[in-house]
Structure 1
Amino acid sequence: MGLPPVHFFSHGSTMMLGEESKSATYWKQCGDEALAHNIKGVVMMGAHWDARGTNRIDVATNPDPQKSPVAYVHPSKYVDYKLVPDVSTGNRIVGMLNAAGLNARTNETFDWIHDTYLILIRMFPGRCPPTTIVSMNARFDPHLHARVGSVVAQLREENYLIIGTGGAVHNLYRNHWWQMLRHTDNFAMPVPPEAAMMEFRQSFEDVFLRNCKPGMRKGTLTSGVTRLMKHPQFRDAHGTDDHFMAACFVAGVIDASEGIADDGAVLGAEDWELVNMCNSQFTVGKWVSQAA
């Protein structure tokens, strides 16, 4: 049985749940592959939940979470989808993080937000697998989030699928909202994306694809991803830091997983939304190549 790959997904706007896209097709493909390999569960870090305090990370252990409403998406797309929280794995992850020196706590009241369940619905439309959601930390230290990823990386050996869901280029202040608000068309491109968005998008791709290949020194991907926060166009591409932390988390998982980077990274799909939002979908590792 092969070990699971690791995914960094750009979830985009809420309308990515309601509208068909290349990204949605790829998410479903990845979900089908995961089910075919009988994953034990999913561990996710999103972009819309952060814990306050130095080194504090919360882990969702609400046994019956509700869903926050999704704007511009018909309720039939998500209201009846049954969430399946993995409380026992959540408690275990808290122990793992605390043992690593982090201030991890369970959160028994957290209700899930579209950044995570949008991806789950697209990947697993038939039934949600047991899922654990790990929060960010509100200080948005990229190295801290990579460290969280390095701690949970060992769960891959037990056939857990690890996903970070944020954004490659995700700046709500720079998006063009008129076409979506007036015509419910999130994919309209009346003008090209701004040069800064294109530049950062290419740098993001370069970091993932060039630092995941045979012979790379361990830690190279984490160094590259965290260094992107000093990119001249980072603040153009990310008006806030929250949607970038999942990429740091994924980099930590990959660098702590023996051999996975040797299989390379692929840009599985990509959609531009609202002119300036680039939803890039990356996968590192392959099921087949890691078969025993």
Structure 2
Amino acid sequence: MAKAKLTPVHFFSHGSTMMLGEESESAAYWKRCGDEALANGIKGVVIMGAHWDCLNDEIQVATNPNPSKSPVAYVHPSKYVDYKLNPDLPTANRCISMLRDAGFNCNGNPTFDWIHDTYLVLIRMFPSACPPTTIISMNARFDPHFHLKMGSTLRPLRLENYLLIGSGGAVHNLYRNKWTSMLRYRDSFAQEIPPDREMLEFRQAVQDVMEKNSGPGLRRGLCRLMKHPQFRDAHATDDHFMSALFVAGAAGDWDDEEQGKGRLKAETWELVNMCNSQYTIGEWVSA
């Protein structure tokens, strides 16, 4: 019996705002992923970022029909101001229903404006036109198992040709970044000194988990990384790692074991200590 086709799932490290304005290996890979998604006729994108979280036990889904974009620093407005956003309200309402049915306290947010953690990636992936897109919030308690369940709840959308994306960071600690070259020279890619040992070790730990595990093993491995000795060095706050857990939930079912392990497809270091690793789990299957 043939297995059902599942869309791939991406965990993208969006990095600093300058990733929108400057060319990089990561930006080139995002574009390639967008081209492949369009070639395979995706119905839309469902994305969890790293800059929107809700208090108590609530999560939200963006339902603003005409969202604005939060401005970004160090990027010329021509790179993003005229890009037309495309909120997918029917899919947003469907996601709300799916999450509520799974026991989540989930509500729509009709006033939410999009933030660079999501539209930065979308502009790079789909520069000609934004596909129908649904944005899902995090929860501010940053429980890894909670966000795993969010991903697993929305996993069936992969069977309907939706593309699920987590936009966060493999190594993202603003307090450990070296900001001088960006502030003085508008250059976030300068690496005058090597990254700190803790950043290198955690970056490698993420790659080991992503590339050596699949299915439920991937979920367990990414949850354990939050107890890694260098996790707090690599992530001063938990927000940029939650989308990795969302991705693991969406691509970590028993049936996902046959889809293959995650693959590191591109990587861009910024500000000495920020590692923007780009991972894809699964692949497009030809008809």
TM-score between the two structures when normalised by the length of structure 2: 0.97
Q: Is the 8 A contact 1:15 1:72 kept in 2?
A: yes
Q: Paired residue for 1:25?
A: 28
Sequence identity of aligned pairs in percent?
66
Q: Paired residue for 2:250?
A: 253
Q: AA paired with 2:6?
A: L
Kindly report the root-mean-square deviation, in angstroms, between the aligned alpha carbons of the 2 structures.
1.2
Distance 1:223 1:259, change over 3 A: closer
SS of match in other structure, 2:142:
coil
Q: Report the alpha carbon displacement of residue 4 of structure 1 after superposing the two structures with TM.
A: 1.5
Alignment partner of 2:71 out of 48, 63, 69: 69
Q: Paired residue for 1:276?
A: 273
Q: Paired residue for 2:88?
A: 86
SS of match in other structure, 1:259:
helix
Q: Is the 8 A contact 1:32 1:123 kept in 2?
A: yes
CA–CA distance in 1 between the matches of 2:36 and 2:42?
Answer: 9
Q: Report the alpha carbon displacement of residue 122 of structure 1 after superposing the two structures with TM.
A: 0.1
Q: Paired residue for 2:10?
A: 7
CA–CA distance in 2 between the matches of 1:257 and 1:147?
Answer: 14
Q: Is the 8 A contact 2:259 2:283 kept in 1?
A: no
CA–CA distance in 2 between the matches of 1:256 and 1:65?
Answer: 34
Q: Paired residue for 2:122?
A: 120
Q: Is the 8 A contact 1:43 1:133 kept in 2?
A: yes
Asked whether 1:170 is paired with 2:172, we answer yes
Question: Deviation per CA, 1:15-44, whole angstroms, max 9, x where unpaired?
Answer: 000000000000000000000001000000
CA–CA distance in 2 between the matches of 1:208 and 1:257?
Answer: 16
Q: Is the 8 A contact 1:153 1:257 kept in 2?
A: no
Q: Is the 8 A contact 1:67 1:112 kept in 2?
A: yes
Q: Trace 1:159-238 onto structure 2 (pairs within 5 A).
A: 159-212=161-214, 218-238=215-235
Distance 1:201 1:113, change over 3 A: same
Q: Paired residue for 1:215?
A: none
Asked whether 1:47 is paired with 2:47, we answer no
CA–CA distance in 2 between the matches of 1:52 and 1:95?
Answer: 20
CA–CA distance in 1 between the matches of 2:41 and 2:172?
Answer: 33
Q: AA paired with 1:52?
A: L
Q: Paired residue for 1:109?
A: 111
CA–CA distance in 1 between the matches of 2:77 and 2:86?
Answer: 19
Q: AA paired with 1:109?
A: T
Asked whether 1:38 is paired with 2:76, we answer no
Gaps of 5+ in 1: 213-217
Q: AA paired with 2:77?
A: P
SS of match in other structure, 1:91:
helix
Q: Report the alpha carbon displacement of residue 2 of structure 1 after superposing the two structures with TM.
A: 4.7
Q: AA paired with 1:86?
A: D
TM-score between the two structures when normalised by the length of structure 1: 0.95
CA–CA distance in 2 between the matches of 1:145 and 1:181?
Answer: 34
SS of match in other structure, 2:134:
strand
Q: Report the alpha carbon displacement of residue 258 of structure 1 after superposing the two structures with TM.
A: 2.2
CA–CA distance in 1 between the matches of 2:15 and 2:222?
Answer: 19
Alignment partner of 1:264 out of 241, 257, 261: 261
Q: AA paired with 2:150?
A: V
